[in-house]
Chains A and B, each alone.
Chain A
């Protein structure tokens, strides 16, 4: 157990390091550097920057140093909570991101929870009533869910919402709540808006889980212990829910490691379509404006949050189900 914990933490740290290197690559890739963009910014607003000034700025930011030194400087900056300036906004990056990072995570976690809530009963139903109409419907919807990329699903639902119900289904808050300070009313408003984006994001994952759950449970249902339980007169619900379902639940635990990054990833693009106030639209804007500090920070923070999220859920699952193999997936 302890060995597993240590191994798992080491892997998480290693992953975070990899994320930081990749984010740094994202920042460094475009031609020019922070100062080039800064100069362009200044001269477009009318005030020029002389060559000497630029040189001293470069020295001040350490841009004349080799890459590894620059990476280390950036990392120390980040670890102190200083993410640099967002050029386009003229404000610190952490200011610009604000609530958006948390909202991204809220949407993603909601999608995962919804995935489970849907996949569990539907998967059980599909297995217990194999080849019934309900099973076919679930399988069909599942395949559609797998085949339609989430952003396209968002587009189609948005179009249907607009033409059939004449409502705009985008956004996470009602009018007036977006800019308001956090309150109970605002949180409730958020909760009311969550299910739809969560469903769109979670559908592909739900489809997959239903299929796995169905297959696993079908395997279990034929085993002698189920027959024994039934023979001893246990009620049908008890026979199914008490034993085989528990065994078949394993995929719920083992897939979260892949599901969470996948959902966070999807949330970026779905947020753009549904105009959700997450980091998605901000990242796209930053990338198009070549505001690389903002973009790199978002990639970094998203990566780190995902790694932490996966780590925490892994620990939770061990606590819930001690049979999970410690050797990893």
Chain B
């Protein structure tokens, strides 16, 4: 780096003070720390980002164990229990810890034709933990039927409705678990595709410069100045109706990554351009390193952290895109379950007025997007540990 030594030492001391450690000892620790250690120390100081990382990890635990956390088959529908409001778990029975729910009896209101459900405090149904329920394949491989919560002596599909049910009488909690799985993995897959495109095109653009750079930059500019949602809608609507869930899933992911790569390409190009001028690159060139060696052993490690930060910040945009498209009915289609598919049922004011709990999926959407943004901010700040 071309910074004068005293400045760097000053920063080290500053960093040591911020870490709350005795200066001389830390100074030594910091000067021998690897780049990644420095980043980790700096990231750790960003409390909101740390908390957000935990939140994100928790959400991905839900992704992995969605089947276990759901207690009802997400596709089991029953008109007899349509639009049930969220149900309360009563944790204590006469001062004793015995979680239970009340049995519900439903009938149709003769005036409004709306189904009304009344809990019966006499009929207590005990709630159990780690109970067998509907069959699933853990990680898509291992057959299992264990669930976090369940009901003793009855099927949860008929008795347990923590977040209520939708119009077809499907349990919203269980559907939310599966929706989380779909929406969060689509974010990851989409960002991976964008990343490959972005790094490839941004790298070429920054490395070669000249006409190639100009062309790629114009393409990026053009893509960024087009309103994306109408375009996505047009492309998504063209997917054949008879495609199965998996094919639609991948097609939608590709459609949303087609635009998403531009931001990543911009970051990569920017880093390439600024790093190309650095002294250590020049030194490597003078020492006779090959182009490939310069790229992979000198350039890539120094901007990897920036790419990780930019990627993290790109994930929420992907999630919003999928949610929006599915919400419009042009993205994933039932029987696939995603946050957008779930929110689609809350589309009209009538639905909201009768069954406001259908809006519940908007809460995890907001939390995840917020968490990813904070985490990305923290990563971006930590990405350059030698900077200010």
Q: Which residues of A contact B (CB under 8 A)?
A: 11, 14-15, 18-19, 22-23, 25-26, 29-31, 143-144, 146-149, 151-152, 155-156, 158-159, 162-163, 168, 170, 257-258, 261-262, 264-266, 268-269, 272-273, 283-284, 287-288, 290, 295-296, 298-299, 302-303, 306-307, 310, 328
Report whether A257 and B225 are in contact in the complex, using a CB–CB cutoff of 8 Å: yes
User: Which residues in B have their C-beta under 8 angstroms from that of A299?
Assistant: 230-231, 234
Report whether A18 and B238 are in contact in the complex, using a CB–CB cutoff of 8 Å: no
Report whether B231 and A26 are in contact in the complex, using a CB–CB cutoff of 8 Å: yes
Given the known interface contacts A22-B231, A26-B238, A269-B328, the answer about A307 and B225 at a Cβ–Cβ threshold of 8 Å is: yes
| B110 CB to nearest chain A CB (Å) | 25
Q: Check if B352 is an interface residue, CB within 8 A of chain A.
A: yes
Instruction: Name the prevailing secondary structure of the B interface residues.
Output: helix
Report whether A288 and B224 are in contact in the complex, using a CB–CB cutoff of 8 Å: no
Report whether A170 and B349 are in contact in the complex, using a CB–CB cutoff of 8 Å: yes
Looking at the complex, which one of B228, B237, B369 makes contact with A265 (CB distance below 8 Å)? B228
Report whether A143 and B373 are in contact in the complex, using a CB–CB cutoff of 8 Å: yes
Report whether A265 and B349 are in contact in the complex, using a CB–CB cutoff of 8 Å: no
Q: Which residues of B contact A (CB under 8 A)?
A: 218, 221-222, 224-231, 233-235, 237-238, 240, 316, 320, 323-324, 327-330, 343, 346-347, 349, 352-353, 356, 359, 362, 365-366, 369-370, 373-374
Given the known interface contacts A11-B221, A303-B227, the answer about A283 and B233 at a Cβ–Cβ threshold of 8 Å is: yes
Instruction: Name the prevailing secondary structure of the A interface residues.
Output: helix
Given the known interface contacts A14-B222, A155-B346, the answer about A298 and B230 at a Cβ–Cβ threshold of 8 Å is: yes
Query: How many angstroms between the C-alpha atoms of A73 and B89 in the bound complex?
Result: 66
Query: How many angstroms between the C-alpha atoms of A156 and B226 in the bound complex?
Result: 28
Query: How many angstroms between the C-alpha atoms of A156 and B363 in the bound complex?
Result: 11
Given the known interface contacts A14-B218, A152-B366, the answer about A306 and B327 at a Cβ–Cβ threshold of 8 Å is: no
Query: How many angstroms between the C-alpha atoms of A283 and B353 in the bound complex?
Result: 26
List the 10 shortest-distance A-B pairs measured between CB atoms, nearest first: A26-B234, A29-B238, A287-B237, A147-B370, A265-B227, A265-B229, A264-B227, A147-B369, A159-B352, A261-B227
Report whether A261 and B349 are in contact in the complex, using a CB–CB cutoff of 8 Å: no
User: Which residues in A have their C-beta under 8 angstroms from that of B362?
Assistant: 148, 152, 155-156
Given the known interface contacts A155-B362, A287-B237, the answer about A149 and B320 at a Cβ–Cβ threshold of 8 Å is: yes
Query: How many angstroms between the C-alpha atoms of A287 and B346 in the bound complex?
Result: 21
Query: How many angstroms between the C-alpha atoms of A264 and B233 in the bound complex?
Result: 14
| B177 CB to nearest chain A CB (Å) | 20
Q: Which B residue's beta carbon lies closest to that of A258?
A: B224
Query: How many angstroms between the C-alpha atoms of A158 and B218 in the bound complex?
Result: 40
Query: How many angstroms between the C-alpha atoms of A149 and B323 in the bound complex?
Result: 9
| B290 CB to nearest chain A CB (Å) | 33
User: Which residues in A have their C-beta under 8 angstroms from that of B228?
Assistant: 261, 265
User: Which residues in B have their C-beta under 8 angstroms from that of A156?
Assistant: 359, 362
Q: List 9 A-B contacts (CB under 8 A).
A: A148-B362, A152-B362, A156-B359, A163-B353, A268-B229, A269-B229, A288-B237, A295-B233, A299-B230
Given the known interface contacts A155-B352, A159-B359, A261-B224, the answer about A273 and B235 at a Cβ–Cβ threshold of 8 Å is: no
Report whether A168 and B349 are in contact in the complex, using a CB–CB cutoff of 8 Å: yes
User: Which residues in A have their C-beta under 8 angstroms from that of B327?
Assistant: 151, 269
| A40 CB to nearest chain B CB (Å) | 14
Query: How many angstroms between the C-alpha atoms of A162 and B354 in the bound complex?
Result: 11
Looking at the complex, which one of A148, A155, A266, A307 makes contact with B229 (CB distance below 8 Å)? A266
User: Which residues in B have their C-beta under 8 angstroms from that of A146?
Assistant: 369-370, 373
Query: How many angstroms between the C-alpha atoms of A14 and B10 in the bound complex?
Result: 50
| B299 CB to nearest chain A CB (Å) | 25
Report whether B222 and A261 are in contact in the complex, using a CB–CB cutoff of 8 Å: no
| A279 CB to nearest chain B CB (Å) | 8
User: Which residues in A have their C-beta under 8 angstroms from that of B359?
Assistant: 155-156, 159
Q: Which B residue's beta carbon lies closest to that of A303?
A: B226
User: Which residues in B have their C-beta under 8 angstroms from that of A273?
Assistant: 347
Most chain A C-beta atoms within 10 Å of own C-beta, residue among B324, B353, B373, B374: B324
Query: How many angstroms between the C-alpha atoms of A25 and B229 in the bound complex?
Result: 15
Looking at the complex, which one of B226, B324, B329 makes contact with A19 (CB distance below 8 Å)? B226
User: Which residues in A have their C-beta under 8 angstroms from that of B316?
Assistant: 147
User: Which residues in A have their C-beta under 8 angstroms from that of B234?
Assistant: 23, 26, 29, 287, 295-296, 299
User: Which residues in A have their C-beta under 8 angstroms from that of B225?
Assistant: 15, 257-258, 261, 306-307, 310
Query: How many angstroms between the C-alpha atoms of A148 and B320 in the bound complex?
Result: 9
Q: Which A residue's beta carbon lies closest to that of B237?
A: A287
User: Which residues in A have their C-beta under 8 angstroms from that of B233?
Assistant: 268, 283-284, 287, 295
Most chain A C-beta atoms within 10 Å of own C-beta, residue among B221, B225, B328, B374: B225
Q: Which B residue's beta carbon lies closest to that of A295?
A: B234
Query: How many angstroms between the C-alpha atoms of A156 and B224 in the bound complex?
Result: 29
Q: Which A residue's beta carbon lies closest to that of B263?
A: A258
Q: Which B residue's beta carbon lies closest to that of A10?
A: B218
